[in-house]
Structure 1
Amino acid sequence: MRVRIDNEILYIHAEDVPPYKKGGSVVRNNYFWALRSIAVRSVRDREWEYEMEVWYALNRMLLFFMESGYIGLRETQLEFEPDSDIPIELRSASTWQ
């Protein structure tokens, strides 16, 4: 998931936000609701926003779904711009594009 940080808010690119699919996979829909539950803002077709206070929880949640094997790495790993610093709270679930 492509991300950026601005003023201590993490933004997940709108096109990379996991979709909710009625009648879809239980794991995928749980992933959607888990990510949405800790977002400060999660508007359809817009970037989702995460305050710094939840970054540790976000990191743990991403690692959990990564390790489950049900959702691909591209959908669970945070991808920062090559020139960006990755905060320590998010490093184990992040990479550079």
Structure 2
Amino acid sequence: MRARLENNLLFLHCDDVPPYKKTGSQVRNTYFWALKAIAAHAPYARDWEFDPEVWVALQRLLLSFAESGYLGLRETLLEFPPNTPIPDPLRAVSTWE
């Protein structure tokens, strides 16, 4: 998922956040609701925001879903722009584009 940092907030690109589908996969829908639950702001068709206070929870959530084997790396790995310092709590689940 494309990620960026602005003003000490983490933003996930709206096109990369998993969509909720009423008749979709239970795992993907659970993933959607788990991410939405810890987001500071999760507007429709706009980037989702995460406060630094939840970055450890976000890391654990991404690791848990990645290890489940149901979701691919592109769905559970944060991709930051090149030369962006990755915050310590997110290093285990992050890379650069």
Instruction: Name the TM-score class by shorter chain.
Output: over 0.9
Cα distance, 1:82 vs structure 2: 1.1
Corresponding residue of 2:89: 89
> Where do residues 1-97 of structure 1 align in structure 2 (5 Å cutoff)?
1-97=1-97
Q: How many residues align?
A: 97
SS at match of 1:41: coil
Cα distance, 1:17 vs structure 2: 1.1
Identity %: 59
In 2, Cα distance between equivalents of 1:83 and 1:7? 17
Q: Which runs of 4+ in 1 moved over 2 A?
A: none
In 1, Cα distance between equivalents of 2:56 and 2:8? 13
**Runs of 5+ consecutive residues of structure 1 not aligned to the other structure:** none
TM-score by length of 1: 0.98
TM-score by length of 2: 0.98
**Runs of 5+ consecutive residues of structure 2 not aligned to the other structure:** none
Q: CA RMSD in A?
A: 0.5
In 1, Cα distance between equivalents of 2:54 and 2:8? 11
In 2, Cα distance between equivalents of 1:44 and 1:69? 27
Cα distance, 1:14 vs structure 2: 1.2
